[in-house]
Every structure is written in structure tokens, then in C-alpha cells.
């Protein structure tokens, strides 16, 4: 039931009269005020007159796309939370809708409980934002380990995606090398969301034996297998109302992947050894240090599950690609380790800063934390000097800039740019060379077209796989091809 005495207003935009009437009846029985619209333009007119709290929006309408309604709603000052409903055939469109700011999406046919739970979650998120606007900001009460530090362009992109994800119930797929902060990302999403008072349950998919995986995930009843001496809740049930974090998701057995997909579609599951159906409302955040699209291509990860989980993809950059963030993080870690060990370090020497900036950081932030903790625990003083660095770090080639693809490309681009500028400034003939360079500039749409066509060629014509590697949905590529 809604918390307030005044009924929460929900609009249903569904072209089927019977389905719309059913949804309206179910919501009214749950205590909501509901209105049904059979086309997009009728819904837009009603939204202009009065914005509801929640909109249950069908994607396929007889007049306009449900995505048009979603985009209109999100341009308003106090937008409703939009729950997308869709058939299996338009799942990619639903994923696009989530990336445009939808709150949740449900595949038809769905149960009354699934729909009502999604509406409740949306209302809960709205109420939380209203409360926070009148009280102290969350950041002031957050534990230090849950905060992100960074000013690099790569991290600003991550922050923007996290902010979008907080307003949604959609699954988040976090990728990145080991030690880049994938678990911190999950903690952040949980602790800043309306689910923060419910549990955050983490499962390391690589650390659980295959024969125990289903039990750990869904639980079991007494006697269902050897060693099951009592009933036991699984992670999905324990996380009800909160967040389920699946680390190293690509290590999950294919058989369990199918069961996870069914749970994500229906919100229901059964314990091992039981036929009783249990409902659980969780927000899934998953992570891997592998390339999930490559795992899909190799047949080790289900393509349908990948698209279901990869609604909001977040790529965490390696530490070596974050520039001055290295020193920002180092100083923050130094302050934290000082307090934990009752030390008085307040700065790094210039030599240490230089080594930190040149080092490859194969272990990323986790390695940076370990090195600083080692120095703080063993030594004392005000300044961290180069002789305090662990011997293994000093001998590990920290003076060499990593030769990864992006660094190499950036160096080549910079070198070419400087060389061209030198030519421009030396003679009149160089001015002609400069003009020739201007003519060689390729329009952005053509750069995009070439990149997409190359990806499709590399993937042997498999457009969904190419889309996954490019970080877009397959429907986006199909639209691009049609526009060309």
C-alpha cells in the first residue's frame, strides 16, 4: 500500500483494452489511483495536464512509439518514473528505453506481483529523493570507502552513468580490470539508492563450487541433497528489497545462467528440492574483469542474459589511464591509512609522485592501496620519500610508461600533431601541407560508419556481437544502417 493517505496516481499507456483494464484493476486493488490510455497522444495530453507519479508504458502503440512518451516525460520539470512493458520480440527496444531514462522494464506476460512491486519501488525512489532534498546530503554520512575520487574525463563519464543508474531499477553491468573498484561501484549504487536500508548481498561466482552454486543462489530445503540438514535461504531471497551483486558473472555455469534469466524475467524462483514459488524484488549489479561480449561470442555466456544484464553498462578505467587521479587517490589513501595506523604523513615527495605517475599499476587501485599501507605501517615521518617504497615496487619498472594500445595511439597522435605544427611554422610550403590536412578530415558520421562496418566484418556479420563490442544495442546499429 502507498505510504501517504492521498492515493498515488499511476498512468497506464497500453493499446490493449483488456490488458489495460486488468492492470488498472490490479493497481487499484493495491491502493493506487490508476488511469488507462490506449494511445500515446492521449497519454501526452493527460501528462501535460497533470504529471502522475508513475507511468506504465507499453513500447508499441498505434500512433507513436512509447519511447517518444518516455522522452517527453523526462524533459519535464518533475518527471514521473516510467516502467516499460514489452514483449520478448522488442527486448532490445526496452533496453534502449532504460538507457533513455526508464525506471524499469517488464516482459509480457508478467504477474500482478511483478508489476505492483515495480510501482512500489518507483514510488519509494521518489519519496527518498523528496526527503533528501530537505535534509543533509547523503555524501556527508557516507563511509569513505564508498566514495569515488576522480577528475579525469573517464571517471566523469562513470559518475554520469552512476547518477543515471540511481534513478532506475535497471540491471547494471560493471566491467574493468581487477582492482579498479567494481565492488565499490556496487556499494555506491546500493547505498545511494532507495534500497539502502535493505541488504546488499554479494556473490563471487568464481569462488563457489559448481555443485553448490544453485543452492547458494536460490537456497534449498532440508534433505534436498547430501549435507542439506536444514532449510536455507539463498542470496536471491536474502537480498529481497535490496541489491544483489554478482561478481565475476562470466564464471557462472550456463545451466544456472538460464535460471538467473528466468528469475530476472519473472521475479520468482524456487529453492533446490522445492516446487514452492517465491517472489523476490532485487536490483542486480554484476561485474567481470573479462570481456563479456567475447564470452558471448565463444558460447560461454548466454547472449539473452547478457542483453538483459547489460542495460546500463559501466566501464571502469584502469588506473594507468586516469592521469592526475593517481595522485588524488594516493593522497586520499594516505589520509585513511594515517588515521588507521596513528601516523602523521601528510605528503609524498616529488620523486614518489613522479614514480606513481609513470608506473603501469597492473593491480590498479588495490595495488596503490597496498603500497601506501606498506609504507605507512613500516615507516614514520611527515613525508613519504622514495627510500620508503617497497623494494619490489622500486624494481618493477615503475619508470616506464605502459605500452598499451591507447597510450601508444595517444603518443603517436601527439607526435604527429606536433610534427605537423612544426611544419606549419617553418615555411610557406608547410601552409599548403596544412591545407591538405584540412581536406583530409573525415566527417564524424563517416568515421562512425567505418567503425561499425569494420566491427561487423570482424564479427563475421554477427551484428548483435559487433554491437556488444561497440557498447551499443543491436537495434541502434540497425537504425544506423537504415539511415545510411
Question: Rounded CA gap, 241 and 106, in Å?
Answer: 17
What is the CA angle 251-255-257, rounded to 5?
60
Q: Give pLDDT tens digits for 33-68.
A: 999 999 999 999 999 999 999 999 998 899 988 888
Question: Rounded CA gap, 86 and 92, in Å?
Answer: 10
The domain defined by 327-394 folds into Helicase, Ruva Protein; domain 3 (1.10.8)
Lowest-confidence pick of 67-81, 263-277, 395-409: 395-409
* Ramachandran bin of 270, using left for φ above 0, alpha for ψ from -120 to 50, beta for the remaining angles: beta
pLDDT of residue 192: 86
* Architecture of the domain delimited by 9-132: 3-Layer(aba) Sandwich (3.40)
Task: Please say whether the beta carbons of 83 and 54 come within 8 A.
Answer: yes
Asked if residue 109 has a cis previous peptide bond (ω within 30° of 0), the answer is yes
Residue of 53, 69, 174 whose CA lies nearest to 118: 53
Cβ density class 312-334: b for 16+ within 10 Å, e for less: bbbebbbbbbbbebbebbbbebb
pLDDT of residue 89: 56
Matching fold, domains 9-132 and 327-394:
no
Q: Give pLDDT tens digits for 65-118.
A: 888 899 999 888 889 999 999 876 566 777 788 888 889 888 888 889 989 999
Question: 352: which 3 cell numbers?
Answer: 614518489
Say what the pTM is.
0.69
Cβ density class 26-63: b for 16+ within 10 Å, e for less: bbeebebbbbbbbebebbbebbeeebbbbbbbbbebee
Segments making up each domain of the chain, as ranges: 9-132, 139-317, 327-394, 406-483
pLDDT of residue 375: 93
Average the pLDDT over 10-19 and give the result.
94
In the structure, what pLDDT confidence band is assigned to residue 384 with cuts at 50, 70 and 90? Answer: very high
- The CATH classification number of 139-317 equals 3.40.50.300
pLDDT of residue 464: 67
In the structure, what pLDDT confidence band is assigned to residue 135 with cuts at 50, 70 and 90? Answer: very low
- What's the whole-number average pLDDT of the chain? 82
Q: Is the pLDDT of residue 6 over 70?
A: yes
Question: 17: which 3 cell numbers?
Answer: 483494452
Residue of 352, 336, 363, 262 whose CA lies nearest to 304: 262
Q: What is the dihedral of CA 118, 120, 121, 127, to 10 degrees?
A: 150
Amino acid at each position: 500500500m502507498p505510504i501517504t493517505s492521498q492515493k498515488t496516481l499511476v498512468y497506464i499507456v497500453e493499446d490493449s483494452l483488456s490488458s489495460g483494464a486488468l492492470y488498472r484493476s490490479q493497481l487499484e486493488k493495491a491502493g493506487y489511483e490508476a488511469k488507462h490510455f490506449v494511445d500515446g497522444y492521449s497519454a501526452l495530453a493527460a501528462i501535460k495536464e497533470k504529471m502522475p507519479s508513475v507511468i506504465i508504458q507499453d513500447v508499441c502503440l498505434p500512433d507513436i512509439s512509447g519511447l517518444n512518451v518516455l522522452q517527453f516525460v523526462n524533459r519535464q520539470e518533475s518527471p514521473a518514473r516510467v516502467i516499460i512493458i514489452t514483449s520478448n520480440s522488442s527486448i532490445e527496444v526496452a533496453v534502449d528505453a532504460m538507457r533513455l531514462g526508464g525506471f524499469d522494464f517488464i516482459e509480457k506476460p508478467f504477474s500482478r506481483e511483478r508489476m505492483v512491486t515495480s510501482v512500489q519501488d518507483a514510488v519509494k525512489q521518489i519519496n527518498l529523493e523528496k526527503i533528501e532534498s530537505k535534509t543533509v546530503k547523503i555524501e556527508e554520512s557516507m563511509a569513505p570507502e564508498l566514495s569515488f575520487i576522480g577528475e579525469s574525463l573517464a571517471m566523469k563519464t562513470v559518475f554520469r552513468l552512476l547518477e543515471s543508474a540511481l534513478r532506475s531499477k535497471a540491471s547494471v553491468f560493471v566491467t574493468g580490470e581487477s582492482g579498479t573498484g567494481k565492488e565499490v561501484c556496487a556499494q555506491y549504487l546500493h547505498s545511494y539508492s532507495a534500497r539502502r536500508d535493505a541488504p546488499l548481498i554479494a556473490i563471487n561466482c568464481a569462488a563457489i563450487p559448481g555443485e553448490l552454486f544453485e543452492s547458494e543462489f536460490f537456497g534449498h530445503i532440508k534433505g534436498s541433497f547430501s549435507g542439506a540438514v536444514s532449510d536455507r535461504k539463498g542470496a536471491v531471497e536474502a537480498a529481497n528489497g535490496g541489491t544483489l551483486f554478482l561478481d565475476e558473472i562470466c564464471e557462472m555455469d550456463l545451466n544456472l545462467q538460464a535460471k538467473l534469466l528466468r528469475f530476472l524475467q519473472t521475479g520468482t524462483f524456487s529453492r533446490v528440492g522445492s516446487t514452492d514459488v517465491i517472489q523476490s524484488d532485487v536490483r542486480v549489479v554484476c561485474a567481470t574483469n573479462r570481456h563479456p561480449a567475447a564470452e558471448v561470442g565463444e558460447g560461454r555466456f548466454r547472449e539473452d542474459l547478457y542483453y538483459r544484464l547489460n542495460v546500463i553498462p559501466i566501464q571502469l578505467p584502469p588506473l594507468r589511464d586516469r592521469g592526475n587521479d593517481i595522485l588524488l587517490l594516493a593522497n586520499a589513501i594516505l589520509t585513511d591509512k594515517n588515521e588507521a595506523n596513528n601516523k602523521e604523513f601528510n605528503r609524498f615527495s616529488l620523486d614518489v609522485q613522479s614514480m606513481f605517475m609513470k608506473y603501469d599499476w597492473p593491480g590498479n587501485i588495490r595495488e596503490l592501496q597496498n603500497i601506501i599501507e606498506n609504507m605507512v605501517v613500516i615507516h614514520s615521518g611527515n613525508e613519504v620519500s622514495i627510500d620508503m617504497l617497497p623494494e619490489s615496487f622500486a624494481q618493477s619498472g615503475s619508470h616506464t610508461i605502459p605500452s598499451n594500445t591507447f597510450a601508444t595511439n595517444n603518443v603517436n597522435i601527439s607526435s604527429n600533431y606536433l610534427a605537423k605544427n612544426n611544419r606549419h611554422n617553418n615555411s610557406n610550403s608547410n601552409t599548403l601541407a596544412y591545407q591538405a590536412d584540412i581536406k583530409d578530415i573525415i566527417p564524424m558520421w563517416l568515421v562512425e560508419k567505418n567503425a561499425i562496418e569494420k566491427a561487423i566484418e570482424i564479427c563475421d556479420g554477427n551484428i548483435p556481437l559487433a554491437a556488444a563490442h561497440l557498447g551499443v544495442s543491436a537495434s541502434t546499429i540497425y537504425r544506423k544502417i537504415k539511415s545510411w
